[in-house]
């Protein structure tokens, strides 16, 4: 292994590296070009050149590195796809995120099959035709195209991908029009489409509804939970719909994945009131974020009592924590009640008393309390408060604003 980070290197120090080296890390240097003779290491498995100044890589630069499996070139100054013609049989991971690759050309890609599994291309301002990526359609399992300038029609080529499991298309220009055959053959387990100007939940293909486990759609313009076919997804574990202009729970009860869901983020959605029994079938929730939703009361979460670990209720209109809402939450470790309307300790003491043995983090910041009595909260580690009059408490850290 050879490692030289942040040393001001302007070229690969070939004379200092043994020919049989398997890993080379030259991150945060000043290397600008790679060419013939720079990388004559036949046993090299991993090469990292992140955060350099590389503007060009000549053809056949990697041809001696026939065993190279990982190539990390993030945050350089590349304007074209690196030459991979000699790496088709070995390379598994390629990271070229944070460069300046704005378009793709067929001539830049290997003509033969590829075994590439992970391709990271986020943050390149990429736009227009990206169909040359189809050369990886049989091998690719993870594809990151986030922080580019893609629109819906640019994703049409994804129908070819048969092994794709993780796709990040977040923070793109405008993906409101998903292609009808979007990832038709993909076996997606994770899809991140946050901040893409999406206005409706997409119509997912049957393959996706069968396999999807994580879905991130936060910070879009989705107004209804009834659009698309979200209800047909059966194995979802994580769902983030936060910061969308959804205004009611219509369609919520139809979700087939309720009993599988472990993490649900509905922050910054105008809900005000949650229908009785809305969470009746959510019996495996571990994290629930209902912050900034306008709620005035804590919903009944009894069915998640043995699994719920984090409950985030900040920036609402909650005034009390009734005993009945907390009794069953035997696994709760964190509750965030900051930025609410709690004015009397008596309004929350009985509910919180049910959490004495499990609660590790309690946030009561920006309420109207002047007395807090946490006697007996033996598990508490972090307490966020404004004004405190603590009688007895065992904590390892207290943060006071």
> Which of the four pLDDT bands, split at 50, 70 and 90, describes residue 323?
confident
Q: What's the count of helices (H) and strands (E) in the chain, helices before strands?
A: 3, 20
Q: pLDDT of 265-287, one tens digit each? A: 999 998 777 877 888 889 999 99
Read off the tokens for 93. Answer: 């991971």
DSSP-assigned beta bridge partners for residue 287: 263, 310
Mean pLDDT of 171-179: 86
Best-predicted range by mean pLDDT (200-204, 244-248, 281-285, 311-315): 311-315
Please, what is the average pLDDT of the chain? Answer: 90
Query: pLDDT at position 393, please?
Result: 40
Q: Where are the domains of the chain?
A: 1-101
pLDDT surpassing 60 at residue 305: yes
Question: How far is CA 192 from each of CA 43, 98, 177, 195, rounded to the nearest angstrom?
Answer: 36, 18, 16, 9
- Answer yes or no: are the C-beta atoms of 221 and 245 closer than 8 Å: yes
Strand duo 382-385 + 361-363: pairing: parallel
What are the backbone angles phi and psi of residue 340, rounded to the nearest 5°?
Answer: -120, -160
Instruction: Report the distance separating Cα 145 and Cα 119, nearest Å.
Output: 9
Q: Which of 164-168, 175-179, 284-288, 363-367 has the lowest mean pLDDT?
A: 175-179
Long-range contact pairs involving 65-72 (C-beta distance under 8 Å, separation at least 24): 65/39, 65/41, 66/42, 66/90, 67/42, 67/43, 68/44, 69/45, 69/93, 70/45, 70/46, 71/47, 71/95, 72/27, 72/46, 72/47, 72/48
pLDDT, tens digit, for every residue of 185-236? 999 999 999 999 999 888 888 889 999 999 999 999 999 888 778 888 999 9
Q: Is the domain 1-101 a CATH 3.80.10.10 member? A: yes
Choice between 348 and 371, residue whose per-residue pLDDT is larger = 348
CA distances from 183 to 54, 102, 179 (A): 33, 23, 9
Q: What is the pLDDT of residues 67-122, one digit of tens each?
A: 999 999 999 999 999 998 888 889 999 999 999 999 998 888 877 668 999 999 99
Question: Are the beta carbons of 267 and 248 closer than 8 angstroms?
Answer: no
């Amino acid at each position: 292994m050879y490692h030289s980070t942040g040393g001001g290197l302007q070229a690969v120090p070939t004379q200092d590296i043994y020919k049989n080296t398997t890993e080379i890390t030259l991150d945060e240097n000043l290397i600008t070009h790679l060419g013939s003779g720079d990388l004559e290491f036949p046993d090299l498995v991993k090469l990292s050149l992140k955060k350099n100044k590389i503007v060009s890589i000549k053809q056949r630069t990697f041809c001696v590195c026939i065993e190279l499996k990982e190539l990390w070139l993030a945050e350089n100054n590349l304007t074209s796809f690196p030459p991979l013609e000699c790496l088709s049989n070995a390379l598994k991971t390629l990271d070229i995120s944070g460069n300046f690759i704005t378009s793709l050309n067929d001539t830049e890609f290997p003509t033969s099959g590829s075994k590439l599994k992970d391709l990271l291309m986020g943050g390149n301002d990429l736009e227009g035709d990206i169909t040359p990526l189809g050369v990886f359609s049989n091998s690719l399992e993870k594809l990151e195209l986030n922080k580019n300038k893609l629109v819906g029609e640019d994703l049409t080529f994804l129908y070819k991908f048969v092994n794709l499991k993780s796709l990040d298309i977040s923070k793109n220009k405008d993906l409101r029009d998903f292609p009808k055959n979007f990832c038709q053959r993909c076996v997606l387990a994770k899809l991140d489409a946050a901040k893409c100007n999406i206005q409706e939940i997409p119509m997912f293909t049957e393959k996706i509804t069968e396999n999807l486990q994580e879905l991130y759609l936060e910070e879009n313009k989705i107004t209804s939970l009834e659009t698309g076919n979200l209800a047909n997804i059966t194995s979802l574990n994580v769902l983030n719909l936060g910061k969308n202009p959804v205004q009611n729970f219509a369609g919520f009860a139809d979700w087939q994945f309720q009993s599988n869901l472990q993490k649900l983020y509905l922050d910054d959605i105008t809900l005000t009131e949650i229908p009785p029994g809305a969470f009746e079938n959510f019996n495996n929730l571990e994290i629930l974020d209902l912050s900034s939703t306008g709620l005035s009361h804590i919903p009944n979460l009894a069915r998640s009592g043995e699994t719920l670990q984090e409950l985030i209720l900040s920036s609402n209109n909650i005034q009390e924590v009734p005993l009945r809402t907390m009794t069953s939450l035997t696994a709760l470790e964190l509750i965030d009640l900051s930025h609410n309307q709690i004015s009397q300790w008596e309004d929350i003491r009985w509910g919180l008393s049910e959490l004495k043995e499990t609660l590790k983090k309690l946030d009561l910041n920006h309420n109207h309390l002047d007395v807090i009595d946490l006697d007996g909260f033996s598990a508490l580690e972090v307490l966020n408060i404004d004004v405190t009059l603590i009688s007895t408490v065992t904590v390892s850290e207290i943060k006071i604003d």
